């Protein structure tokens, strides 16, 4: 989020100093500037991701209650969708967003990224196929997704392992991102048995307190769980003295939890609402 804000700020600074009389189409100028700055940034951080400790996940961001009902927003900022977009090349991602989210003509996108229109169409085709092959099949009924998340929260708070495992799909997996800065598995955990065993280690009250304490950047007196809208979908947030220290985001298919995304890296929790 901070990087996106930096890109927007840099684009605004360039716009504020440019000779406006030389700009025939301000909208096109701003789209081109933001897109090229974003592509440069994505290329710069791609090397950093290769030496990142453990799995790398996007940054969770709190969204206003009810935002999940706006399909056009939810489809673009869903946590699992962002995970998929991170696997695209910088150019593929730029073309995909400009075409799918903003519906720009290919001729305009080609000018933005500095490629021929035919090459731009090919980039879009590859990006669409890549996303279609990897994008989870979200539960359409958002109320149902909230109910499943509420059941997960209740089972976690009560330490009811049986109730937790009943919520899992047979091929459930848990992917965590600590960046080496908090306690969390460095590799994905796959299968009901392994995911259940990991959660069982933190399901009783004493173990849960110890686990949450290990996630807190500083000693805390009070820990709490809450259901919060994150990336336009319900998520479970763990708080230490009102500060978010952990986010559980879910992919839910056919009423069952298919994937659990666990973000514990404190550097990525700055845009999750305090309690």
Output the six-digit token pair for 218: 């500083």
Counting Cα atoms < 13 Å in the Cβ hemisphere of 75 gives 9
Domains of the chain in sequence order: 2-51+79-134 (no CATH), 142-268 (3.10.450.50)
Place of tokens 């290329």: 43
**Can you give the pLDDT at residue 58?**
92
Strands 233-240 and 223-230: antiparallel
Q: Which phi-psi region, left, alpha or beta, contains residue 67 (left: φ > 0; alpha: ψ -120 to 50)?
A: alpha
Q: pTM of the entire structure?
A: 0.86
Q: Give the DSSP H or E segment for 248.
A: strand 243-253
Place of tokens 């879910």: 250
Place of tokens 């998520």: 235
What are the respective helix, strand and coil percentages of the chain, to the nearest 5? Answer: 50, 15, 30
Distance CA 209, CA 240 (A): 10
For 96-119, give the DSSP string. HIIIIIT---HHHHHHHHT--HHH
Q: Is 235 exposed, middle or buried (0-12, 13-18, 19+ CB in 10 A)?
A: buried
Distance CA 24, CA 89 (A): 30
pLDDT (tens place) for every residue of the chain, 275 residues total = 888 999 999 999 999 999 999 999 999 999 999 999 999 999 998 877 778 899 999 999 998 765 555 555 556 678 888 999 999 999 999 999 999 888 999 999 999 999 999 999 999 999 999 999 888 776 667 788 889 999 998 887 777 888 889 999 999 999 999 998 887 888 999 999 999 888 877 655 555 566 666 665 566 678 788 899 998 888 999 898 899 989 999 999 889 999 999 999 999 999 998 98
């Amino acid at each position: 989020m901070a990087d996106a804000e930096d890109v927007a700020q840099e684009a605004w600074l360039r716009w504020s100093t440019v000779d406006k009389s030389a700009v025939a189409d301000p909208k096109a100028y701003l789209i081109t500037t933001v897109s090229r700055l974003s592509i440069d940034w994505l290329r710069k951080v791609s090397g950093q991701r290769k030496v990142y400790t453990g799995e790398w996940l996007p940054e969770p961001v709190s969204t206003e209650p009810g935002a999940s009902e706006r399909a056009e927003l939810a489809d673009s900022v869903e946590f699992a969708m962002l995970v998929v977009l991170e696997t695209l090349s910088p150019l593929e991602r730029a073309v995909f967003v400009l075409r799918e989210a903003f519906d720009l003509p290919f001729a305009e996108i080609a000018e933005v990224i500095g490629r021929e229109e035919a090459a731009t169409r090919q980039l879009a085709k590859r990006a669409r196929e890549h996303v279609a092959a990897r994008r989870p099949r979200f539960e359409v009924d958002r109320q149902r997704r909230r109910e499943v998340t509420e059941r997960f929260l209740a089972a976690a708070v009560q330490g009811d392992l049986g109730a937790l495992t009943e919520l899992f799909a047979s091929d459930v997996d848990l992917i965590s991102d600590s960046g080496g800065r908090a306690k969390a598995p460095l590799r994905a955990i796959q299968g009901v048995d392994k995911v259940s065993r990991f959660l069982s280690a933190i399901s009783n009250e004493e173990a849960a307190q110890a686990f949450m304490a290990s996630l807190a950047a500083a000693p805390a007196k009070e820990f709490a769980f809450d259901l919060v809208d994150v990336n336009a979908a319900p998520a479970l947030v763990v708080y230490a003295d009102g500060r978010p220290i952990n986010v559980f985001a879910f992919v839910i298919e056919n009423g069952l939890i298919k994937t659990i995304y666990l973000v514990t890296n404190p550097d990525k929790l700055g845009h999750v609402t305090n309690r």
